[in-house]
DNA sequence: TTCCTAAATGATAATTATTATTAACTAATA
DNA sequence: TATTAGTTAATAATAATTATCATTTAGGAA
């Protein structure tokens, strides 16, 4: 499922998860859903602060943790020791730009099928595979331009 | 290159990197090289403490950081907000066991070639790919047994 | 609509993980 | 052996996250 778009969708999903649909939760989720740069809790806090000065950093941490437990969002793997988040829960991979520190979403159904097929043919015992993501370590050639994948 | 094995090899590699081959560095590197479970700095500190009570935690952090900068070891991607390390720098992937919290090394040259070939045929602009790793999210079926991959 | 209460929040303290500082130590070169 | 730039230990400081608790509130029942 892709990230939730509207207030009603978010509200409904929260209720389905047995969670109260508070204003803070809606704001935090919307902020993350609009962010494609896999922000930290602190990033989100700074982002919502101008329009929501009373939401505390502790609330942001607590709320993100609640969302992760409810599978509304995912944590992103990183190696910098800071937890980052992703509202886009549909299976996808990430491109880690070494020089710009960006983490870019990357999605390719064909490649997924290729890898899954290969792993199925491999004899792996005592393991149940849930998800496969690629970690593509790369460098942006021109820092000012966007990465383009076709 | 696989992880370094002997005192002499470690000593030589440190010198090649313009680093002094101190006792602390040798001990920390050896500890990591023997660990296949991608330990944290704290894990390594606890591990070496019995035989090296005077090596401080700050030294362990500093030394690991130095090793990473010198490409002697790598950081492992994780989503728990704690930095983990890997002495095995040869390109490989990881299996993340959701239920046991283990991170298991996984290596398959054929699969690597398959993915690299696929991505080369894909039109990716403004990006220079350096390394591709799989993040396999899985569950151990029988927690007490080992995972086996053929 | 009102009442009720379990869940949620804000403020802040506490904890955990990591880095900075600085005096003292030492690896390795001359 | 002497020298010194690099390294370390101890500890303070910082950064990231979680715990605590009084107060607030979403949403269901009446």
User: Residue B123 belongs to what domain range?
Assistant: 93-138
Contact call for B77 and A82, based on CB within 8 A: no
CA distance B123 to chain A (A): 5
Q: Are A104 and B100 within 8 A, CB to CB?
A: no
Task: Evaluate the CA torsion angle A70, A71, A76, A79 in order and state its sign.
Answer: positive
Is there a domain that residue B1 lies in? no
Is there a domain that residue B117 lies in? yes
> Nearest residue of A to residue B125 by CA position?
A148
Contact call for B124 and A147, based on CB within 8 A: yes
Last residue of a domain, one of B66, B86, B106: B86
CA distance B58 to chain A (A): 16
pLDDT tens figures, B73-94: 999 999 999 999 999 988 899 9
pLDDT tens figures, B94-141: 999 999 999 999 999 999 999 999 999 988 999 999 999 999 999 999
**Quick one: B98 and B120 in the same domain?**
yes
Q: How far is the CA of B59 from the C1' of C22 (A)?
A: 15
**Quick one: A75 and A108 in the same domain?**
no
**Quick one: B106 and B68 in the same domain?**
no
Where does residue A44 rank: exposed (0-12), middle (13-18), buried (19+ CB within 10 A)?
buried
**What's the rounded Cα separation, in Å, for the pair B60 and B66?**
10
Q: How many domains does chain A have?
A: 2
**Quick one: B99 and B80 in the same domain?**
no
**Quick one: B54 and B122 in the same domain?**
no
User: What ipTM goes with this model?
Assistant: 0.89
**Quick one: B107 and B79 in the same domain?**
no
**Quick one: A123 and A72 in the same domain?**
no
Asked whether residue A56, judged by its CB, lies under 7 Å from any atom of the DNA or RNA strand C, the reply is yes
């Amino acid at each position: 499922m892709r990230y939730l778009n509207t207030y009603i969708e978010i509200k409904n999903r929260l209720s389905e998860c047995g969670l109260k649909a508070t204003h803070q939760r809606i704001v935090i989720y919307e902020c993350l859903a609009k962010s494609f740069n896999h922000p930290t809790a602190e990033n989100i806090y700074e982002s919502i602060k101008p329009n929501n000065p009373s939401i505390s950093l502790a609330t942001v941490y607590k709320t993100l943790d609640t969302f992760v437990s409810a599978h509304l969002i995912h944590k992103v793997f990183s190696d910098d020791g800071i937890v980052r988040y992703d509202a886009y829960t549909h299976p996808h991979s990430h491109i880690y730009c070494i020089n710009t520190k960006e983490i870019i979403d990357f999605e390719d159904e064909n490649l997924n099928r290729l890898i899954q097929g290969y792993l199925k043919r491999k004899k792996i015992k005592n393991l149940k595979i849930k998800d496969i993501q690629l970690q593509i370590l790369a460098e942006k050639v021109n820092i000012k331009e966007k990465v383009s994948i076709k």
